[in-house]
Every structure is written in C-alpha cells, then in structure tokens.
C-alpha cells in the first residue's frame, strides 16, 4: 500500500540533497515522498520532481531573500573562519544556535497546519534541533544524521563541532566545557520553549534526541568513532552515504588533457570566501593538473581563469567526483562522504560546523589531509595532492572504503528500512 513519507531537511544543500537521494529510492518502492521545506528551498525539491510544502522557519520574507539568508549569515562570519573551533563558539556557533532555536519556534506555528494538509504516514527529519510538532504528530518519526556521527554524543568520542582528535580527551573536555558555558542562555530559552510545547527539558548542550523508532547515519563505518556505548543497531543504522542520482557531466577540455583532474568546492555557502578560492586557483595555475572550481554565485568576482582551470556556478557533484582524481573541499558531509564513496583522496580546509570534525577524521583514518584554511603555502598544497595521487597505502585504503560503501547501496538501504518501519 502506498504511504506518504514527509522529509524535513534543514535549509542547506547537504541535508537537502541527501534526503533527495533517499526520497528517490522510497518512490521506487511505490511510496510517495513529499518535502517540508524552508520557503527558500521549495524550488530545489520541485526541481527533482517532488511536491514541496513551505514551512516558515523565520519571520516571513521574500523567497529570494530567504534563499540568501544562510549565505549572508556565513559571509558575515568569514573573519571567524581563521579561528580554532573552540574560538568560534562565542561568535559563529553562538549566533548559529540562536538562529536555529528561532527557526524551531517559528516552525511550531506553521507545522501543525502543514502536517494536517499532507497527512504523512511517517516523517523523516534531518536537523540538529527538535521540532515538537513532528514528535507529537502521532506517526513514526525518523531522525537522519547527515552530519558527522558525533552529532549523537558519546563519552569516548570528540564533541560535535570540536575538530578534536579521537583520543585527545583534554581537547574533548575543554571544548565541551566551553560550549556548555557559551550555549547555556540559548539552551535555557530553548528548554522554556519545550515546556510551552509540553516537552521535557534537554540536558545542557543538547537540542535534539534520538528517535525511538529509527535513526539513519550517513557516516561511513570505515571512519566511524569507537564509542564507549555502542549504538543499538535496532535503532541506529549506518547508510554508508546517500549519493543521489544526478544528470551526467562531461568534463570540459582544458590544457594538459592527460593531467590529473582536481575538483575544488567549498559548497554553496562557502563560495563566498572568494579570496581563498583565488589563492587555490593561483597555486594550481599552470601546474600539471586540470582543475574544476565551484565559485557559486560569485562568478563576477573572477577574471578569466588560467588555461588549466574551469569555473562554474554549480556542478552535479555525484556525476563529477567519479571522474576526478583529487578533491579540495570544506568538509561538508555530502562532499566528505562522496569522496569516500568514490575513493577519492581529499584536502579538507574546514571553516565551520562539522567540517572541523570531518577534516580531523579524514586525516586520522588515512583517507586524506586536514589543512588549516589559511596557513598553507603553494608547495604544501601541491605536495599533498601529489601524495594523495601516488601514495599506495592511501590509495588502497580509499579503494577498500569505496567498495564497502558502494556495496551498501545507502539510499536503497534507507528506503528498505523506512518501508519496514511503515509495515
């Protein structure tokens, strides 16, 4: 019997497109997938052929202005990108959590009416905060964790957003203590909101809970953390990434057609750091690489590129990464998992959020390199690329991880799990 599954990802392309991959697989099983959407993302889901229902997550504004909200938010914090994760807590992270809590309050006004119209049989939420209306709607709800798996905390693993090494317990404690100190006023406000909605308060620092029904982690098992308290597989399942289906991509002709192909992308939000992207282009100009660079909405900021460099405002990434030899990115979980899924070495230059965790993890597990976002010189960048392309140990590890992930068929596995829960 056909059921309606509503997906509610946060307003960022990473979670949004991961949910698209699962929704595509769900519809192959005969169910109907619909999206609950930030108004600025409605057209994204409609572009993939899905029905999308806007949910107000902030004060009403023009859709174009809404679509630019997080981009403007990120660009306003570019000076903070050079700071260590713990030094971003009282600026970027604090401001981010304030905005996220506000989004949950706004959603609570809109969600009951939207859910009443859709009448979903299941709701899948990919976010870092509880929306009480979803928990209270009376149908199974599933939590999707598309960011680093340490979003589900454990005493033995690094705190979410910290970028700490797996065994660096001093770093774990220092970050967690400072996080709880900075976040407490915001957290107290959120707990007051939960009380108004008839929900129990969360411990300080926590804004969401695991679903009692099912939790889907996109993090790949070959890089997962060693937990003190193992996750119960009856409720927690690793999907090994959720690579969506995208249109084919033909690599443009560039100087040195025999040279390795490097892909550079800091995501839809990170493209505003144009000075950094220009530095990378200069470092790779005229070198024995072909280079594809995602410049987002900032094409007008760039001069004519070097003969071995191609600029574009967007790339169908799951169709691009299989064709490249090396990737430079910000550590967003889509690009992080796609590089591993297709067995591509990477340099991660994190700037915020779980990019710090993913950058540390890619280096700790031998799948790539963590670079400070600004403290590198050209020869170091090129040396890391050459090592990633030619190091037998790294190449073997990437090949094994890729085979493991591709054998899991993440979107299909997710769809089967959701189908089983519905039954």
pLDDT tens per residue across span 258-297: 999 999 999 877 888 999 999 999 999 999 999 999 999 8
**Inter-residue contact 290 to 262 (CB < 8 Å):** yes
Distances (CA, A) of 350 to 85, 151, 270, 308: 10, 17, 10, 25
Which pLDDT score, from 0 to 100, does residue 79 have?
Answer: 86
DSSP 3-state of 379: helix
**Within 13 Å and on the Cβ side, how many CA atoms surround 208?**
25
Which pLDDT score, from 0 to 100, does residue 60 have?
Answer: 76
Which pLDDT score, from 0 to 100, does residue 63 have?
Answer: 62
Q: Find the DSSP H helices in 244-309.
A: 267-270, 274-284
For residue 301, how many other CB atoms are within 10 A of its CB? 14
In degrees, rounded to 5, the angle at the alpha carbon of residue 307 between the alpha carbons of residues 305 and 311 is 40
Which pLDDT score, from 0 to 100, does residue 67 have?
Answer: 60
In degrees, rounded to 5, the angle at the alpha carbon of residue 222 between the alpha carbons of residues 217 and 228 is 70
Domain extents for the chain?
4-76+103-167+206-243+408-422, 261-406
Higher pLDDT pick, 40 / 9: 9
Which pLDDT score, from 0 to 100, does residue 237 have?
Answer: 95
4-76+103-167+206-243+408-422: which CATH architecture? 3-Layer(aba) Sandwich (3.40)
Mean pLDDT of 58-66: 72
The string of pLDDT tens digits covering residues 154-196 is 999 999 999 999 999 999 999 999 999 999 999 999 999 999 9
Best CA proximity match to 334, nearest among 316, 312, 351, 310: 316
Mean pLDDT of 299-312: 96
How far apart are the C-alpha atoms of 235 and 344, rounded to whole Å?
31
How far apart are the C-alpha atoms of 178 and 223, rounded to whole Å?
26
DSSP 3-state of 183: helix
How far apart are the C-alpha atoms of 176 and 179, rounded to whole Å?
5
Q: Find the DSSP H helices in 342-377.
A: 355-364
DSSP 3-state of 402: helix
Looking at the domain that runs over 261-406, which CATH code has it been given?
A: 3.40.50.2000
Question: Is there a common fold for 4-76+103-167+206-243+408-422 and 261-406?
Answer: yes
pTM: 0.91
Which pLDDT score, from 0 to 100, does residue 52 have?
Answer: 97
Mean pLDDT of 29-33: 97
Backbone phi, psi, residue 360, to 5°? -65, -40
Higher pLDDT pick, 313 / 61: 313
The string of pLDDT tens digits covering residues 101-151 is 999 999 999 999 999 999 999 999 999 999 999 999 999 999 999 888 999
């Amino acid at each position: 019997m056909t059921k309606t599954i509503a997906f509610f990802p946060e307003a960022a392309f990473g979670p949004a497109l991961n949910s698209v991959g699962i929704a595509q697989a769900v519809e192959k099983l005969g169910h109907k997938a619909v999206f609950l959407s930030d108004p600025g993302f409605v057209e994204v889901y409609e572009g993939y052929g899905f029905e999308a229902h806007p949910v107000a997550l902030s004060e009403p504004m023009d859709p174009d202005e809404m679509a630019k909200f997080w981009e403007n938010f990120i660009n306003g914090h570019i000076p903070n990108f050079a700071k260590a994760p713990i030094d971003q807590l009282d600026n970027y992270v604090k401001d981010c959590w304030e905005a996220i809590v506000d989004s949950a309050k706004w959603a609570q006004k809109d969600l009951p009416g939207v859910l009443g119209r859709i009448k979903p049989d299941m709701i899948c939420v990919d976010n870092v905060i509880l929306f009480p209306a979803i928990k209270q709607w009376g149908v199974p709800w599933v939590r999707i964790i598309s960011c680093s798996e340490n979003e589900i905390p454990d005493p033995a693993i690094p705190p979410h957003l910290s970028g700490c090494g797996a065994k660096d317990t001093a770093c774990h404690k220092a970050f967690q203590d400072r996080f709880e100190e900075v976040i407490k006023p915001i957290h107290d406000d959120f707990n007051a909101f939960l009380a108004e909605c008839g929900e129990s308060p969360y411990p300080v620092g926590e804004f969401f809970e695991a679903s009692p029904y099912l939790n889907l982690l996109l993090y790949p098992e070959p890089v997962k953390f060693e937990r003190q308290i193992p996750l119960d597989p009856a409720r927690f399942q690793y999907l090994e990434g959720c690579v969506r289906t995208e249109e084919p991509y033909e690599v443009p002709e560039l100087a040195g057609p025999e040279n390795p192909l490097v892909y550079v992308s800091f995501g839809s939000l990170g493209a505003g750091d144009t000075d950094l992207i220009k530095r990378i282009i200069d470092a790779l100009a005229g070198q024995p690489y072909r280079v594809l660079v995602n410049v987002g909405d900032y094409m007008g900021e760039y001069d004519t590129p070097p003969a071995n460099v191609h600029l574009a405002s967007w790339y169908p990434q799951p169709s691009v990464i299989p064709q490249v030899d090396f990737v430079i990115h910000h550590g967003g979980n889509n690009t992080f998992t796609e590089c591993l899924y297709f067995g591509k070495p990477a340099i991660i230059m994190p700037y915020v959020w779980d990019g710090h965790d993913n950058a540390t993890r890619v280096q700790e597990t031998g799948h790539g390199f963590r670079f400070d976002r600004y403290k590198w010189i050209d020869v170091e960048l090129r040396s890391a690329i050459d090592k990633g392309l030619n190091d037998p140990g790294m190449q073997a590890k990437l090949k094994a991880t890729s085979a493991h992930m591709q054998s899991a068929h993440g979107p299909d596995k997710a769809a089967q799990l959701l189908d089983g829960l519905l039954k």
